[in-house]
Structure 1
Amino acid sequence: MSSIENFLKNAVTPWMGPKGEYSNIVMSTRVRLARNLKGFRFPLDFSREEAEEVEQKVAAALGGMEDFSHIPMESVPAIQRQALVEKHLISPQLADPERPGSVILSGDESVSIMVNEEDHIRIQVIYPGLHLMEAFDRANDIDNRLEEALPYAFDGDFGYITSCPTNTGTGLRASVMLHLPALSITSNMTRIAQAVARLGMTVRGSYGEGSDALGNVYQVSNQMTLGKSERDILMDLRDLTERLIEQEERARRALREHSPMKLEDRVWRSYGILTNARVLATDEAANRLSDVRLGIDMGIIPDVDLSVLNELMIFMQPAFLQQYAGETLQPGERDVFRAQLIRERIGMGRQSGGAED
């Protein structure tokens, strides 16, 4: 087994795959429930002793759940903590070495329970494609198990009490990660973001608030958690997502109809760079991967597995590159390794016989 195959074997998370509803545009669905324990201060203001007591209580409540690992953050090297952030399994706050916290992670990494992040408990489920109800049902099952054993901070009028007031109520934050290259190429994303905000939703970059939309990947999520039921929040987000999918598909058809040669040139030019470049910065790699993913979706590029592009959007990030290299890399060295990793992985993707049915 080559070094890249061995690396991928241990690094790929199921949500990166092409399975799932609308997987040509929807990369993943994430549902997160924020909860706190009654009688404890919020993590931003409590002591290490309180943090340890909360961890013990949560771990005990989840005792007996098969295939889950309890990972204290202080035991995880800095690069591996950042890799967990890059895979969307923990937040940047939990990766902070100054904060006492942990993650309880399922074997397939579809469930991650963050302990002592901004709230005492954040239950997260992430699935490939558009699976909002399924992800919520799994998160809700875990939440019910915890609530049977732990005293939650809950108010009859306001719902679940959270560290940030915007999460008070259901404590539910649901998001869908979408690849929207045609809407970006046609300069429609600013208008769409404004329209989405008027519906009580938000459009952000692929790593949430304050992040850039690397490679035309956007997160669409609910802003309101108070005054609506979980099911209503999820249905509203699904309806919005389907409308965005329709607009993206319409924009793709317009590109093919009005400028097919320019579209093909853009796609194949990016493919040529990715399969031959020796140095690639993060922004350029993300944009070129976006073009190639669009080319695969539209049948311009045959025989490349779509999951390869999903994986590479994660594996090109700094911590993953350094894990692959097995050493700390300076920015220029990371650009060299990024180009190497992308060349090798796309080559493997073609050899594997193309996308799955």
Structure 2
Amino acid sequence: MTKWIDGEGPQKDIIISSRIRLARNLEEFPFPIALTNEKSKEVIKKVSDSILEGNTVLKNDFKLVKIDEISNSEKQILIEKHLISPNLIEKPNKSAVMTNTDESVSIMINEEDHIRIQCLFPGLQLEEAWDMANKIDDIIEENVKYAFDEDIGYLTSCPTNVGTGIRASVMIHLPALTMTGYINRILQAVNQIGFTVRGIYGEGSEAEGNIFQISNQVTLGRTEEEIVQTLIEVTKQITNKENDARATLMANNKLKLEDKICRSYGILTNAMIMNSKEALKLISDVRLGIDLGIIEDINVNTINTLMVDIQPGILQKIYGKNLNANERDIKRAKLIRERLKGR
């Protein structure tokens, strides 16, 4: 199972995962947007060889997947597990991804940049994710030459990544701030200090199930450590606000909150048809109920796994066949009933 989904991490009741992503390019090749098919294959070989041939420890832990050699459903699953971006599959004959055994590390090749190193850990583990990403980065750099300027830093396809090339982010569950109406104020404050807020699948996606991704916007003029530490402090402040909002709800509207959570649980455990948007909304309520002790005997990892398994690609893999939208809604409801109530 993917580590960030079912692994243990600090403050995992609110902070689902921590991610570090590093953007790098090879000096002797044009950016991916200008790569020919032949040159793109050279980049894939250089990057994969730096892992599979350059380090005996990593060689046994990583595998290379060429995007044009897997099915559309397999591509969708990689996206739903947050191992690749949707952009990577837009040029399948030019791109690839490397993942390690527990899928805590993925290396996208020929996405927007030649290399996107991603480390994804459960809970608030930004420092640990940065340490891992930095080590992988060093190993690759031992075997290839990066596009780097002494004054500017790492050169990237998009100017917003120039400098450190780092994107640090957390995936965070904020149902109480949403219920109390304070969420917009929090998100505005986050934007004002140089961070951006996106939905569950990053840029362009909605914050379904009260799950938000918060990441740095600035990569130039600050060190990687400064960016990581600032996001840690911001995340802790938001977590404190969420905990305060939860305490307020329990103190002032406990019965109403319990009713909302139990109704959501009742629908999830009895519904026969369920689309993913409704499912994530109801699962968010149940997750809050588990965290507050209103719902017992369900582990939060069960909920985290369910949030991923109800996505279209993974759902079809679980049932071993292609499903149309209506069939997915039926199977989704069935899976939720089975996981939450064992029937």
TM-score, normalising length: structure 1: 0.93
Partner of 1:41: 30
In structure 2, the CA distance between the partners of 1:275 and 1:74, relative to structure 1 (3 Å rule), is same
1:28 pairs with 17, 40, 61, which one? 17
| Residue identity in the other structure for 2:234 | L
Alignment partner of 1:240 is 2:244: no
Aligned to 1:124: 118
Q: Match of 2:183?
A: 189
Task: Give secondary structure in 2 for the equivalent of 1:346.
Answer: helix
Q: 2:40 aligns with which of 37, 41, 51?
A: 51
| Correspondence for 1:68 | 62
Is the 2:272–2:334 contact (alpha carbons within 8 Å) kept by the matching residues of 1?
A: yes
Aligned: 1:310 with 2:304: yes
Q: How far is 1:347 from its partner?
A: 2.7
Pick one of 106, 114, 118 that aligns with 1:112. Answer: 106
Unmatched tracts of structure 1, length 5 or more: 1-11, 352-357
1:98: how far off?
4.3
Which secondary structure state, in structure 1, belongs to the residue aligned with residue 142 of structure 2? helix
State how far apart, in whole Å, the 2-side matches of 1:108 and 1:284 are: 29
Moved more, 23-32 or 312-321: 312-321
Question: Paired residue for 1:326?
Answer: 320
| Alignment: residue pair count | 338
Task: Encode CA deviations 1:157-200: one digit per residue, 9 max, x unaligned.
Answer: 11000011000000000100000000111122222111101110
Name the CA distance, whole Å, in 2 between partners of 1:193 and 1:203. 7
The residue aligned with 1:299 is 293
Match of 1:9 in 2: none
1:206 aligned to which of 194, 200, 205? 200
Please state how far the C-alpha of 1:97 moved relative to its aligned partner. Answer: 5.1
Q: What is the TM-score when the length of structure 2 is the normalising length?
A: 0.96
Instruction: Say whether the 8 Å CA contact 1:18–1:306 is kept in structure 2.
Output: no
TM-superposed deviation, 1:13? 1.0
Amino acid paired to 2:253: S
1: CA distance between counterparts of 2:7 and 2:125?
Answer: 13
Cα distance change, pair 323–37 in 1 and its aligned pair in 2 (3 A): same
Write out per-residue CA displacement over residues 84-141 of structure 1, whole angstroms, 9 at most, x where no aligned residue: 1000001101123545111111011000011111100010000000001110011100
Describe the superposition over 1:317-349 as per-residue Cα deviations: whole angstroms up to 9, x where unpaired: 11111112222211111110110111111235x
Alpha-carbon separation, structure 1, partners of 2:330 and 2:162: 45
Question: Which deviations, in whole Å up to 9, do the C-alpha atoms of 1:241-278 show, x marking residues without a partner?
Answer: 00000000000001111111110000100001111110
**Is contact 2:283-2:303 (8 Å) kept?**
yes
Q: Map residues 131-210 of structure 1 onto 2, 5 A cutoff.
A: 131-210=125-204
Corresponding position of 2:223: 229
- Counterpart amino acid of residue 275 in structure 1: T
Moved over 2 A (4+): 95-99
Backbone CA RMSD of aligned residues: 1.2
Paired letter, 1:202: T
